[in-house]
Amino acid sequence: MKGALDISVLIVAHDEEKHLADCLASAAFARERVVLLDRCSDRSGEVARGEGVRVVEGAWPLEGDRRNAGIALCTSPWILELDADERVSDQLREELDRVLSAADCTFYYVPMHNYIGAVWVRHGWGAYNGVAAKPALFRKGSKIWGADRVHPRLTLIGEGGWLQGHIDHFVYDDAGALINRLNRYSDAAACDAVLQGRPFRAHRTARRFFTRFYKSYCRRRGYREGWRGVLLALFSALYPVLTHLKALELTERRGRSG
């Protein structure tokens, strides 16, 4: 690939010094790399500045707000949005060179290769765990994030397409990291539910436990991944249950404090 591509690579990060340098290195082909650091207490800022990229620091309590703020900072007509634990593959870099010269869509879904440790886990992903593809490449103005704390809703404007090249996503280091993420995400989802006054029904939550396990382990073929597939299915199923229980706890606390 000759020269830099006229594209902004946006990385929104919180305490990601472990991953940030490798992520930025994989995006060295871009004319502009923007790193938005949200309330970091580690060396993320030092790492980013050492790579000579544009760095903006601040505090954005809502994920959608900080991602929209990062998008607004980008100056190229096209944006590739990455998380710090993601890497642009060689195949994707080569494809970007071709696609951006004659793009016929305003946003593109990029396949994800999701890893647990050093193992590429092909099956069983979904819900909060990870996705098989996401609209990571888009023309500026065609992607807007919503205001939810967990899984903000996306507004995509225009025609969408699919790329063949992938992003490598190092989702979890080990089984313990799955547990930690389940706890964090269910905390945030419960807070959203209480603030928005969303009702919970015990029978619906129980049904979702079984349907989500079945979807991950059977329909998405998590059974092919051994114990990793079992964990993905189990934690996907537990997510609505923990969110429900934590929302009940938050509601009780608010009642006592009120």
What are the pLDDT digits (tens) for 59-116? Answer: 998 889 999 999 999 999 999 999 999 999 999 999 999 999 888 999 999 999 999 9
CA distances from 175 to 106, 147, 165 (A): 37, 30, 28
Which domains does the chain show, CATH number per domain?
5-172 (3.90.550.10), 175-257 (no CATH)
How much is the pTM?
0.87
Q: What is the dihedral of CA 227, 233, 238, 239, to 10 degrees?
A: 120
What is the C-alpha separation between 84 and 65, in angstroms, rounded? 18
pLDDT of residue 87: 98
Burial of 47 from C-beta contacts in 10 A (0-12 / 13-18 / 19+) = buried
Which sign does the torsion angle of CA 94, 99, 100, 102 carry? positive
β-pairing, 167-172 vs 119-120, is unpaired
252 CB-near residues (< 8 Å, 6+ apart)? none
Residue 70, SS3 per DSSP? helix
Return the closest-CA partner of residue 123 out of 255, 21, 226.
226
What are the pLDDT digits (tens) for 230-248? Answer: 999 999 999 999 999 999 9
What is the C-alpha separation between 157 and 159, in angstroms, rounded? 7
- Are the CB atoms for 10 and 81 separated by under 8 Å? yes
